[in-house]
Every structure is written in C-alpha cells, then in structure tokens.
Structure 1
Amino acid sequence: MSTAPRRDDSDRDRDRDAEGRARNQRPRDGLGRPLPHGAEGVARQPEGVVRTPGQSLAEAQELLDAGRPFHAHEVFEDAWKSGPGAERALWQGLAQLAVGLTHAARGNPTGGARLLRRGTAAITAWTAESGLDRPYGIRVPELKAWAEALAGRLEREAAPVEAAAEAPRLRASTPG
C-alpha cells in the first residue's frame, strides 16, 4: 500500500462563483478557448440569465452571426436550465448544434459532426413529441438540413470552418 503524501490543494487560488463552485475566469477567445490570464479576450456571456425564448433566440443569433457559437451555446444552456422542463430537449439540442459549430471552427471536425448530429436528433425528437415544427419561429426543418449538410461536409473534408460564415438562421426573421 502506497503511503505517498496526498497533495493538498486547499490553499490553491481558484476562481469561484458566489455559491463557491469552481469557475474558470480566464479570458476566452471568440470560440470559447481559454486564454492566458491577463490576455484580452472577448466579453463572456453572463451565466444564469433568465430570458424569454424570443430573447434567447435573438441573442444566440447575434452571437452566431458574430462567429461566437460557444457563447451562443451558453445562452441556450441558460434557456434549458431556466425554461419549462417540457422544452429542455429543444434548448439542449440547440446548444449541441452551437457546440458542434464551435468544434468545427476549432478544427475538430469529428467532434463537430458528432455534436451536430446529436443536436439534430434532439430537436427532431422534441418536435415529433411536441407536434410543433416551428416553436418560437425556429426554422427546425431548415436547421436540421443545415446541421446534416455541415456534419456531412465535416466528415468528408475534415477541415475547420469559419463560424460566422457557417452560422445558421434560427428563425425566418428576428424581431427587433
């Protein structure tokens, strides 16, 4: 039996939120990758924000259009955590699509394709169960076609994509 001393991390400085949970406060780039402390990153999305579905979709669309799908994923994550339980799979699927685009832009085509397909499956299952094919004006059929096409291209070409150029349209129009 090994008697090697255990490392005591209790005095390590860690970024923590108000509840004491560890949070990485390092700055991040536009694709959500951590940068060194002190580097200039992009503004992060605040966590735990309760938005209406329309606000979530509008904010996520702005982030997608700006080439920041990781940050759009955080908006969708807030929606699934704060919204009705019956809609959880819809918002999780949208978050997976955003993370799939993030991985594709970071140069991980395998992970990107996998998450795009997982997100497509989630929104497909949710729409079938709910009987709604355009909840909150979300262009679900077009979004599924976009994700399937991008996943197929990632599997064939295995090359990074430009996130802003590949951003999907979530709704037919975004109300002001």
Structure 2
Amino acid sequence: MGSTSSGRPTGARDRDDEGRARNARPRDGLGRPLPYGADGVARQPEGVVRTPEQSVVEAQELLDAGKPFHAHEVFEDAWKAGPEEERELWRGLAQLAVGLTHAARGNVTGGARLLRRGAGAVEAWGSPVGAGRSPVGAGRAQPYGMDLAGLAAWARELAEDVERDEGSVDAQARAPRLRA
C-alpha cells in the first residue's frame, strides 16, 4: 500500500475493529491534529478501566506534563466505566481538563466556558445537600483526596485570566493540583 503526498496511507480508512471512525493522524500534546507522517505525541489509550486512585494519579501526571487533553481522556474513561453515582464528578473533571486544553490552544470563549462548567459540576457534586443539590456526593468535598472546592476556585480564576488576557495559557504552568 502506498501513501499520499501528505504521508497518509492510500486506501486506508481510519477505522477500528468495530468500524468506528478513528482519526489516525498524529496529534500534538494538546490533542491538535498534525500532518500525516509528522512525529506526534503518543495517544492516550481509550476505554482503560482504572481504579479512581489510579485515574487521579495518571491524570495529574498528564496535567503536570502539559497534556490536559490526555488527562481528559483518563477522566472520560473513569466517567464511562465508573459507578453511576460518580459520573457527574468525573465528567466535571473531564470538562476542567478540556477547558484547560482550549485555553492553551487560545480558544478564549470555549476555554472559559468549559472551565466554569466543570467548576460548577465538581463543586455541585461535592456540596452538601441543599439549594437544589443532589444527595449523591453530598459532603464529599475531597473524594479520592481531591480538593473539589480548590479545583473549582482554580478553574474560575483561570477562566477570568483567559478572558482578561485573551490569549493562550501555558498548560503545564497553569495545571491544577487535583489533590490538596
């Protein structure tokens, strides 16, 4: 099988074994597609079942390395594979990671919006019952050692900074600390 001038294999379709579309283009550390044939960052495997503690540790390592897009994939796996009562927590964490990804890419509006949405989700999940809050997660301000109030404050501050400065941020320098 040959390849096109862009380095993409001819006749190849980016599909997995079940026929779902999979973009095989290499990606940079923020998940942006690179030209076929370029050296990219290894992709985060999808569908990995981890313990919650493993998810937190792995996501923190990726955030610390300036790879929030990849951390989002870890949170997404936890959201999809975890217990129903924790899905909103993991989805909120994934939104925080994607918000940081967009902010690092220079997407001011999308970054700020996702950071605030994720902040609200993690804060609501760990808040005491009341003010219309669900009892799921009530009083769990630090599940798996994570400081949900601190993460929400970090996300809102970053959203304000992104909107004020209207530019991209350094994902590694602005990575949150998941645990207190």
Within-5 A mapping of 1:17-166: 17-128=16-127, 129=134, 130-131=137-138, 132-166=140-174
Partner of 2:176: helix, strand, or coil? Answer: coil
Q: Distance in 2 between matches of 1:61 and 1:46?
A: 16
Deviations 1:75-102 (CA, angstroms, capped at 9, x unpaired): 0000001000111100000000000000
- Taking only aligned residues, the RMSD between alpha carbons, in angstroms, comes to 1.0
Per the alignment, residue 167 of structure 1 pairs with 175
Where does the alignment leave 5 or more consecutive residues of structure 1 unmatched? 1-11
The offset of 1:159, in angstroms, is 1.1
The offset of 1:125, in angstroms, is 1.8
The offset of 1:150, in angstroms, is 0.4
Amino acid at match of 2:37: G
Q: Distance in 2 between matches of 1:140 and 1:125?
A: 9
Q: Distance in 2 between matches of 1:40 and 1:88?
A: 34
Per the alignment, residue 4 of structure 2 pairs with none
The offset of 1:170, in angstroms, is 0.2
Kindly indicate whether the alpha-carbon contact (under 8 Å) linking 1:110 and 1:158 is maintained by their aligned counterparts in 2. no
Q: TM-score, normalised by structure 2?
A: 0.87
Amino acid at match of 1:83: G
Q: Distance in 2 between matches of 1:73 and 1:92?
A: 9
Question: How many equivalent residue pairs?
Answer: 161
Q: Distance in 2 between matches of 1:29 and 1:77?
A: 19
Per the alignment, residue 130 of structure 2 pairs with none
Where does the alignment leave 5 or more consecutive residues of structure 2 unmatched? 1-10, 128-133
User: What percent of counterpart residues are identical?
Assistant: 71
Amino acid at match of 2:49: V
Partner of 2:125: helix, strand, or coil? Answer: helix
Q: TM-score, normalised by structure 1?
A: 0.89
Deviations 1:34-54 (CA, angstroms, capped at 9, x unpaired): 111111001110000000001
Q: Distance in 2 between matches of 1:16 and 1:75?
A: 21
More helix by share: 1
The offset of 1:153, in angstroms, is 1.0
The offset of 1:15, in angstroms, is 0.9
